[in-house]
Structure 1
């Protein structure tokens, strides 16, 4: 073997080792933006349902749906990763991928992961080679969307395409979804059946709030907590997800209101008292959060009094707990969205 051949062999071996190290590192959850207090509802991949299976492939391991963007790949991924390793150290690449992933919420990653599943199921059914799935052609993307015309809502198709686009970006693949895809997407919007169209929800009014007030027992700690959440959401125009958690298993103090959240009572010279409750994370401002102003209005529904009553009635709730209430056995429980809406 000549010296030149030996050098090429050594270079190839180094590249293989570097690529293996990168794949191993990518298999671990990113350390960026994953607070240790957050526990995901789904801790292990679910068993594939009948009629919703996918062909086995080394490019698509059986993993949590929220991890598909990161761990599902294509032949293009290896060439992209090798190119990246020639330009940057391994830690820099992992940092980049981690930062890109935290640009979207976990729930969004799940929605995107569902779109990836449907895309690959379509490709499996049409025997599309792995190499043609990324980068996917304009024609392939349009054909995939057209296959769902009359079966899904336009927003669902848009989410799937957004997920495919992000998947391409994460793996360094160009996005070819242009004129043909745009036409197919427009056609899909026109073919959505009425059964998939959700009517606009009516707004919550003061009459609704008064009905809630008269239907609650404000000597009950649970009802007191419900009333405080409802008044705060109503008068401060908050989303429920910005005040309470979906499940007691999912709690992150950097995103959810806790008992110890910054809370100040103010008494200005004009006599109208108000409180300021800091919400750590909002859908619009993200980590900057926002201050909810709870004014002491001349109304039985005012959030100022409702929150004060909640804090006084639920004094034994720990300071690091989310919006919660005391239970009959002397313990406390998290106010979750399902319980609030029950």
Structure 2
């Protein structure tokens, strides 16, 4: 049986499995696709390639340059990031350079118009209002959607941090009811306390993290409490699950069901279809526009860079580009009291 680094095949394979577990599933998939793209490029250029030999800096530069005029700069950077990750995983040296950095910048400048997707407007407070007035306050599914929507928005969460990809709930990655600490659970003066939620795993915190639930007129704490009561959830149940309308069985709220229900509400108002990613930047933008210090927003939203500030500064242009599609929505009555 061949050995690697003096270790058995099984031991080394488990080492790599533990190493890869630090990545989100989507990141792993993207890295695998990036490596396959590089291997295909090597075959087309008749460049020798071995998974046991590091890629030289000139080859990496040539690979990056080959994408100029064909794809977006972000796509090229992601593919190079996949190549770098593969080197690190194999313990091979990755040689970056100022030349490679300049080439990637040129690729971004040369990106064809077809590679640029129109920016979608973020979810906004007015959209939350419309959803809250349309969702049925006695239907467990709708109450669950409302609670997840407010939590995701005001806590600047990624959709995959609280909503399941499928009805098979992963308790190692998603919160159960016992992960929640509502203000009234802590005792004392509830009006002076902040609710908190333990996320078992996030994209950047694989060992879990506490997030704080902000207090405001659409406080997610009240919606979550109503949701737990409506679906009669127990401490070990998934936090965002609901009782089925007819069978009364507990069903995990999926991303598809969540965003599908909300788009069903928003589409008649001529709002472009929203993806689940729009909630995180929407909540961030709402906090910034409300005057919350950007550093506080950054810490609360677990942003690792200042990229969200660039999006915020471009918000007026983004909204303007969609005004012809959203004219009905932007005139929504913001003074109506929410149902939940």
Shorter-chain TM-score range: 0.5 to 0.7
Structure 1: runs of 5 or more not aligned: 1-16, 23-80
- Which one has a larger percent helix, Structure 1 or Structure 2? 2
Partner of 2:258: 340
Partner of 1:118: 37
Partner of 1:260: 178
- 8 Å Cα contact 2:177/2:233 also seen in 1: no
Partner of 1:11: none
The superposition leaves residues 68-127 of structure 1 with CA deviations (integer Å, 9 ceiling, x where unpaired) of xxxxxxxxxxxxx4xx22xx6767645643443233222211101101111111111122
TM-score, normalised with respect to structure 2: 0.67
Partner of 1:97: 16
Note the C-alpha offset of 1:307: 0.8
Partner of 2:265: none
From 132, 138, 162, the equivalent of 1:243 is 162
The superposition leaves residues 259-294 of structure 1 with CA deviations (integer Å, 9 ceiling, x where unpaired) of 332434335537456533322223344423113325
Paired residues in the alignment total 257
**Higher RCO by CA contacts (8 Å cutoff, separation 6 or greater):** 2
The superposition leaves residues 4-36 of structure 1 with CA deviations (integer Å, 9 ceiling, x where unpaired) of xxxxxxxxxxxxx3x2xx4xxxxxxxxxxxxxx
From 196, 199, 203, the equivalent of 1:283 is 203
Is the partner of 1:260 in helix, strand or coil?
A: helix
Task: After superposing the two structures, state which structure 1 stretch, 254-263 or 274-283, moved more.
Answer: 274-283
The superposition leaves residues 30-73 of structure 1 with CA deviations (integer Å, 9 ceiling, x where unpaired) of xxxxxxxxxxxxxxxxxxxxxxxxxxxxxxxxxxxxxxxxxxxx
Is the partner of 2:213 in helix, strand or coil?
A: strand
The superposition leaves residues 268-326 of structure 1 with CA deviations (integer Å, 9 ceiling, x where unpaired) of 5374565333222233444231133253x4x3x32122111101110167834352111
Is the partner of 1:129 in helix, strand or coil?
A: coil
Partner of 2:189: 269
Give the Cα–Cα distance (whole angstroms) in 2 for the partners of residues 314 and 159 of structure 1: 42
Structure 2: runs of 5 or more not aligned: 261-340
TM-score, normalised with respect to structure 1: 0.66
- 8 Å Cα contact 1:281/1:290 also seen in 2: no
Q: Does 1:166 align with 2:88?
A: no
Task: After superposing the two structures, state which structure 1 stretch, 189-198 or 113-122, moved more.
Answer: 189-198
CA RMSD of aligned residues (A): 2.7
Is the partner of 2:173 in helix, strand or coil?
A: coil
